[in-house]
Amino acid sequence: DQQVKQNSPSLSVQEGRISILNCDYTNSMFDYFLWYKKYPAEGPTFLISISSIKDKNEDGRFTVFLNKSAKHLSLHIVPSQPGDSAVYFCAANSGYALNFGKGTSLLVTP
């Protein structure tokens, strides 16, 4: 049973524009969420996180928004750069285990 869902398998964005990656979850007990970026043949790299006591967290070009009532979070990348092209995973922490979505493959074109 997939408790974290990323419904867009892929996204293509032009360099300099905003990339918005979406994630939905079903378990209302989740209270900490993370985004990871993964290049081929590498492990996931931690990007940014957000606790359920906040609705926004920003780190440079990356901002994560959390809407608890809708059980939805999103990752905004502004401006997008070609080096951002990778697979992005949303994850929810259930105390020790991370529950991952299936990922969204982002392609940033020049």
Residues 28-47 binding another protein (CB under 8 A) are 31-32, 34, 36, 41-46
Q: Is residue 49 part of the contact set for another protein (CB under 8 A)?
A: yes
Q: Is residue 91 part of the contact set for another protein (CB under 8 A)?
A: yes
Nearer to another protein, 3 or 15 (CB): 3
Token digits for 77? 């990348």
Q: Is residue 86 part of the contact set for another protein (CB under 8 A)?
A: no
Task: Round to whole Å and give the CA distance between 57 and 106.
Answer: 21
Nearer to another protein, 91 or 108 (CB): 91
Query: Where on the chain is the footprint of another protein (CB under 8 A)?
Result: 4, 31-32, 34, 36, 41-46, 49, 51, 89, 91, 93, 96-103
